[in-house]
Chain A
Amino acid sequence: MNSLGMAWRQLRSAWLAGEVRVLLLALVLAVGAMTAVGFFTDRIQSALNRQGSQLLGADMVVVADHAIPEKYRLEAAKLGLNAAQTLDFPSMVVHGNASHLAEIKAINGGYPLRGELTIAAQAFGAGRNTQGAPESGSVWIEPRLASLLEVAVGDSIAVGERQLRVAALLQHEPARGGDMFNIAPHLLMNEADIASTKLIQYGSRIKYQLLLAGSAVTTATYSGWIKPLLARGERLEDVKSARPEIRSALEKAQQFLGLASMASVILAMVAMSLAALPFVQGHLDTFALMRCFGASRRLIMRVLIQQALLLGLIGSLLGCVLGYMAQAGLAALAGSLFVEALPPPSWTPALAGLIAGFAAMLGVVWPHLQRLGDVPALRILRRDLGDLDAAGWLAYLPGLAVMIALIFWHAHNLKLGLVTLAGLLALLLVSAGLALLGGRLLRQLPLGSSSAWKLGIAGLMRRPAMAVAQVIGLSLGLMALILLALVRGDLLHSWQASLPADAPNRFIINIQPNQIADMQSFLSGSGIGTTTVLPMVRGRLIAVNDKPLVPAQYQDDRARRLVEREFNLSWTAQMQADNKILAGRWWRADEQGKPMLSLEQGIAENLGIRLGDRLTYDVGGTPITLSVTSLRKVEWDSMHVNFFAVAPPGVLDQFPASYITSFHLPLGQEATLNQLVKRFPNLTIIDVAALMQQVRDIMDKMVYAVQYVFGFSLLAGLAVLYAALVATREERTREATLLRVLGASRRQVVMATMAEFFCMGLLAAVIATLAASTLAYYISAHLLDIPYAFNFGLAMIALVSACVLVPLAAWLGVRGLLNQPPRQILHSI
């Protein structure tokens, strides 16, 4: 027979009878949440990548220590990528009697390809945005170079053998790559003028760059094409290798979003599992009758699988549509927050949603399929045969497997996935334990003559497995809501607070020891407080464990570059507040002068250095050997002065040091800087306000996005609550009717139902609050590195509202039925 037709007819009828609605709703919500998050993160991701690109000045950059091979440029042109080329090299720049080393960038094409330059006639204050190179014969220079050379706009300076006019001061340049403390002030010039400077000669230290920008697909294609071709001295930089401050913010943002979508997935799967029960229960009689009329087991299984697939298809498609509409709404809302319009989403999330929808559907229906296939035909004569019980943990394994797969898919991070899984497992065990224990305690309660309580608790005990399942469902739903509130309020706030409005936005380097006191009094006199002033000594790492270092020994480009350049070494007695020891320990006060070293964990990893290794630095020609006694994690996005390598006081003091500090310059006080530079001409002030603004922008946008995405988790959480309430509605109705027939008053039945759900709500709220707080603690302390404080008020609100709302929802569920005469209900069940 045509099993598909039968499957469809039965499904349609089941829809009319209401058995399939909750399941389909849960699926639509599940896929909707997944795809909305998918579509949206997809778009945010590309928007963020673009933002990152602005820091790079391009989507990616081919960097070489020789002229960029022509084929690289041709391939880019073939793919339709926008391209620009720059030459970077250090050179002395002269004006009158003053001369200073500058980092010269000769530009060919529309530099930067992403983001804009800000140029102005004065050092500080309003400027205008532009793209491209200065006109031939002119240059743009950074204000600090202007003050060092004492030039103004309109003056001419000598670059090599050529005199070039200063056309404007360069206030902001997005792609100011490299180590901001090591490079000389920038000078931008037109590539057409390069030959006349006669600075490009054999052996010159020149960095050739090919900047590229285009769609995600073409840049990925290009990146895949060029990577195997890169020769020695060539490398590809992309957004990921951009500034550590931005990378750190982006990673956190992605973790937040991953977390939000994962919460939706888990919740939706739980809702579906709960909703699958009434759906399956409704099929028992149908299949028993079909068996009676001659249907084979195979046919029944086929009809069921086809129904699951049909449901999966309908639900997934509807979910995709919902997800797409939801993200479109979001994009419209968020549009004004982003600098540019969000890029369109790719279709991958829809495909992912469809696959996930099918998998989820089969996962939750599969265990019941097996048992429904075995339903005895004799059930027609004996109704008690073949009833499904909610228990049978093994039966839920396929669904669990799908959920685990989806968790890892959405976590984008093995550690986060494992932690979530472990947390979920712990939650299941704790919930089950607490629910059973709670049930036992409830039975011991001296309830006196309150028959409603007795009836309610008896109802709970009658279906222990179902009660546990419902408590777990409720707990998960509530946990999502509490976590949402925690993340929305506390966590995001802490994250934003980690970069406060008064975070340092200027660095001063090159402070001489005898200038520290004067400079500090100048700054405090101007109403600006400084943070710690830290010493800085430059040294090259020459040996590890007495084995001389050869840059070529490192496969990794980044490691090789780290070894090739000089380190900034510092010393301090107290560890900086935004640092955290990951291994080893900080020095004690009595260990000053001991050859110890604390290394930043990332750089140690890059160079393959472990705790206890002995590093030899060449500091101004003198070798000094220090043992790595601790590895630190540094919050680069705090914008405080931080060093990769720090020693205790008394180790490096004999070497000539300069000092560095950071401070917050309030908006509108830029003039103070001009006075500062006039008073201490040798100081170099580095403006990181723009960079900070970018970090803060990302945070703000992400906070908004994460809140929206968690809105879906909220819906999924509500679906779980609803499914948990509906799961036993039919059985509950039958019982309530029977009680009414036996003479129970309407009030008694309502009270019994509410008592039952009050107990469930209470248990679920306790479990959910504990779980959400633990999870929030973990997320803040281990994943986001932000301080966490238990929110007692929120826990109380959750507890009280669960104890009120859950029984209320249950009451709403039975209310309608209780208004009908029992005979009518008996007839319909």
Chain B
Amino acid sequence: MHAPDVINGLAIEVTGLAKHVTSNQARLTILSGLQLAVPQRETLAILGASGSGKSTLLGLLAGLDTPSDGKVLINAQDIALLDEDGRAALRGRSMGFVFQSFQLLPSLTALENVMLPLQLAGRDDAAGQAKAALNRVGLEQRATHYPRQLSGGEQQRVAIARAFAPKPAILFADEPTGNLDAATGQRIIDLLFELNAETGTTLVLVTHDAALAARCQRRLQLIDGRLEPI
């Protein structure tokens, strides 16, 4: 699962994407007519103020949510043509995630958390690969610890190990330093980009932190439901 699914193609292609939500009879448009093309191996930052729809966009790109209109193609696969399980399988095959709130399962150890996506993908040596991934983020000593026994930075490193362990084609990161202090955040970012460079993964980073965004090859800003270059 090293190589991206489509050589030299686009990792993500989005056309005319729109998302509306209806509440109290009022229709609220979060995204509309959004276009985006992300080549393989690119690192892209999406910036935006709070409430601008960054997380909604991320959810749509990852197939966690369905658009009101428009198309999302992941490695040339139209995700609208897949059912919920199909989208889940696609995520398992080609995507990794790093979240602001780490999203480790409190009932699993660090190692078991890293093993989870590997197991779901049916990898033979889930434990071995997970251990290697924990090694890479420097947490081999913490493998049997539960999330509550780890600091915030350690938890995010486990999450990064989990994201990279299955060697996904695309990695989505949602404010990965949002819950961390500046120094820890810096170390997490270094780690994220190091691993990204090693594996050649396409990275889509959602943040409101301009300094973090500056480390990406391309930066787009989400304003009024559309993406604009900075």
Genuine A/B complex: yes
Q: Are A13 and B99 in contact (CB under 8 A)?
A: no
- Segment from B5-13, B38-46, B58-66, B186-194 that makes contact with A: B58-66
B89 at the interface (CB under 8 A from A): yes
Q: Are B92 and A10 in contact (CB under 8 A)?
A: no
Rounded to whole Å, the gap between the CB of A268 and the closest CB of chain B is 26
Give Cα distance in the complex from A378 to B108, angstroms.
21
Q: Mark contacts of A287-302 with chain B using CB atoms, 8 A cut-off: 1 yes-contact digit, 0 otherwise.
A: 0011111111111000
Residues of B within 8 A of A229 (CB): none
Q: Are B92 and A295 in contact (CB under 8 A)?
A: yes
Q: Are A292 and B107 in contact (CB under 8 A)?
A: no
Partner of A290, one of B93, B107, B120, B122: B120
Q: A286-B105, A380-B64 are in contact. Are A1 and B120 (CB under 8 A)?
A: yes
Q: Are B148 and A294 in contact (CB under 8 A)?
A: no
Q: Are B91 and A289 in contact (CB under 8 A)?
A: no
Q: Are A9 and B103 in contact (CB under 8 A)?
A: no
- Segment from B73-81, B111-119, B131-139, B208-216 that makes contact with A: B111-119
Partner of B106, one of A17, A292, A296, A376: A17
A756 at the interface (CB under 8 A from B): no
Rounded to whole Å, the gap between the CB of B47 and the closest CB of chain A is 17
Q: Are B107 and A17 in contact (CB under 8 A)?
A: yes
In the complex, which residues 240-272 of chain A have their Cβ closer than 8 Å to any Cβ of chain B? none
Give Cα distance in the complex from A9 to B112, angstroms.
9
Q: Are B55 and A294 in contact (CB under 8 A)?
A: no
Q: A17-B106, A381-B174 are in contact. Are A293 and B64 (CB under 8 A)?
A: no
Q: Are B89 and A294 in contact (CB under 8 A)?
A: yes
Give Cα distance in the complex from A368 to B38, angstroms.
40
Q: Are B103 and A13 in contact (CB under 8 A)?
A: no
Q: Are B107 and A378 in contact (CB under 8 A)?
A: no
Q: A9-B112, A380-B99 are in contact. Are A293 and B65 (CB under 8 A)?
A: no
A36 at the interface (CB under 8 A from B): no
Give Cα distance in the complex from A9 to B92, angstroms.
20
Q: Are B116 and A289 in contact (CB under 8 A)?
A: yes
Q: Are B120 and A295 in contact (CB under 8 A)?
A: yes
Give Cα distance in the complex from A5 to B62, angstroms.
28
Q: Are A293 and B91 in contact (CB under 8 A)?
A: yes
Q: Are A13 and B108 in contact (CB under 8 A)?
A: yes
Q: Are A292 and B97 in contact (CB under 8 A)?
A: yes
Max chain B C-beta neighbours (<10 A), residue from A282, A294, A298: A294
Rounded to whole Å, the gap between the CB of A249 and the closest CB of chain B is 54
A285 at the interface (CB under 8 A from B): yes
Residues of A within 8 A of B122 (CB): 1
Residues of B within 8 A of A13 (CB): 105, 107-109, 112
Residues of B within 8 A of A1 (CB): 119-122
The tally of residues in A whose CB lies under 8 Å from a CB in B reads 33
A16 at the interface (CB under 8 A from B): yes
Residues of A within 8 A of B146 (CB): 16
B84 at the interface (CB under 8 A from A): yes
Residues of B within 8 A of A553 (CB): none
Max chain A C-beta neighbours (<10 A), residue from B109, B120, B148: B120
Residues of A within 8 A of B112 (CB): 9, 13
Q: Mark contacts of B129-171 with chain A using CB atoms, 8 A cut-off: 1 yes-contact digit, 0 otherwise.
A: 0000000000000000010100000000000000000000000
B85 at the interface (CB under 8 A from A): yes
Give Cα distance in the complex from A84 to B120, angstroms.
72
Q: Are A294 and B59 in contact (CB under 8 A)?
A: no
Residues of B within 8 A of A377 (CB): 64, 88, 91
Rounded to whole Å, the gap between the CB of A173 and the closest CB of chain B is 70
The tally of residues in B whose CB lies under 8 Å from a CB in A reads 33
The chain B residue sitting closest to A296, CB to CB, is B85
Q: Are A293 and B117 in contact (CB under 8 A)?
A: yes
Q: Mark contacts of A7-42 with chain B using CB atoms, 8 A cut-off: 1 yes-contact digit, 0 otherwise.
A: 001100110110100000000000000000000000
Give Cα distance in the complex from A700 to B58, angstroms.
74
A741 at the interface (CB under 8 A from B): no
Q: Are B93 and A378 in contact (CB under 8 A)?
A: no
Q: A13-B112, A381-B55 are in contact. Are A299 and B107 (CB under 8 A)?
A: no
Q: A377-B88, A380-B99, A381-B59 are in contact. Are A293 and B116 (CB under 8 A)?
A: yes
Q: Are A828 and B148 in contact (CB under 8 A)?
A: yes
Residues of B within 8 A of A14 (CB): 107
Give Cα distance in the complex from A6 to B93, angstroms.
19
Give Cα distance in the complex from A5 to B95, angstroms.
24
Residues of B within 8 A of A378 (CB): 59, 64-65
Residues of B within 8 A of A19 (CB): 107
Q: Are B92 and A293 in contact (CB under 8 A)?
A: yes
Residues of A within 8 A of B64 (CB): 292, 376-378, 380-381
Max chain A C-beta neighbours (<10 A), residue from B58, B59, B89: B59
Rounded to whole Å, the gap between the CB of B110 and the closest CB of chain A is 12
Give Cα distance in the complex from A707 to B1, angstroms.
66
A2 at the interface (CB under 8 A from B): yes
Rounded to whole Å, the gap between the CB of B174 and the closest CB of chain A is 7
Q: Are A291 and B105 in contact (CB under 8 A)?
A: no
Residues of B within 8 A of A285 (CB): 103, 105
Give Cα distance in the complex from A382 to B97, angstroms.
15
Rounded to whole Å, the gap between the CB of A631 and the closest CB of chain B is 65
In the complex, which residues 105-145 of chain A have their Cβ closer than 8 Å to any Cβ of chain B? none
Give Cα distance in the complex from A292 to B65, angstroms.
11
Give Cα distance in the complex from A624 to B20, angstroms.
94
The chain B residue sitting closest to A293, CB to CB, is B117
Partner of B58, one of A282, A293, A381: A381
Give Cα distance in the complex from A382 to B60, angstroms.
13
Rounded to whole Å, the gap between the CB of A289 and the closest CB of chain B is 6
Partner of B108, one of A2, A9, A296: A9
Give Cα distance in the complex from A293 to B90, angstroms.
9
Residues of B within 8 A of A291 (CB): 88
Give Cα distance in the complex from A6 to B116, angstroms.
9
Give Cα distance in the complex from A291 to B91, angstroms.
9
The chain A residue sitting closest to B113, CB to CB, is A289
Rounded to whole Å, the gap between the CB of A650 and the closest CB of chain B is 85
Residues of A within 8 A of B107 (CB): 10, 13-14, 16-17, 19, 282, 286
Q: Mark contacts of A378-395 with chain B using CB atoms, 8 A cut-off: 1 yes-contact digit, 0 otherwise.
A: 101110000000000000
Partner of A294, one of B106, B108, B121, B174: B121
Residues of B within 8 A of A9 (CB): 108, 112
Q: Mark contacts of A804-829 with chain B using CB atoms, 8 A cut-off: 1 yes-contact digit, 0 otherwise.
A: 00000000000000000000000110
Residues of A within 8 A of B89 (CB): 294, 296
Rounded to whole Å, the gap between the CB of B120 and the closest CB of chain A is 5
In the complex, which residues 20-66 of chain B have their Cβ closer than 8 Å to any Cβ of chain A? 55, 58-59, 62, 64-65
Q: Are A298 and B85 in contact (CB under 8 A)?
A: yes
Q: Are B84 and A297 in contact (CB under 8 A)?
A: yes
Give Cα distance in the complex from A289 to B96, angstroms.
12
Q: Are B105 and A2 in contact (CB under 8 A)?
A: no
The chain B residue sitting closest to A283, CB to CB, is B107
Give Cα distance in the complex from A289 to B85, angstroms.
14
Residues of B within 8 A of A827 (CB): 148
Give Cα distance in the complex from A298 to B83, angstroms.
13
The chain B residue sitting closest to A16, CB to CB, is B107
Q: Are A294 and B91 in contact (CB under 8 A)?
A: yes
Residues of A within 8 A of B97 (CB): 292-293, 380
The chain A residue sitting closest to B94, CB to CB, is A294
Give Cα distance in the complex from A76 to B85, angstroms.
66
Give Cα distance in the complex from A61 to B28, angstroms.
86
The chain B residue sitting closest to A288, CB to CB, is B103
Rounded to whole Å, the gap between the CB of B103 and the closest CB of chain A is 6
Residues of B within 8 A of A282 (CB): 107
Residues of A within 8 A of B58 (CB): 381
Rounded to whole Å, the gap between the CB of A509 and the closest CB of chain B is 78
Q: List 20 A-B contacts (CB under 8 A).
A: A1-B119, A2-B119, A13-B112, A16-B146, A17-B106, A19-B107, A282-B107, A289-B105, A292-B97, A293-B120, A294-B91, A294-B92, A294-B121, A296-B89, A297-B84, A297-B88, A299-B120, A381-B99, A382-B59, A828-B148
Q: A293-B97, A294-B92 are in contact. List 4 more A-B contacts (CB 8 A).
A: A13-B108, A289-B116, A293-B92, A295-B88
For the complex of A and B, the 3 pairs showing the least CB-CB separation, nearest first, are A294-B92, A13-B107, A293-B117
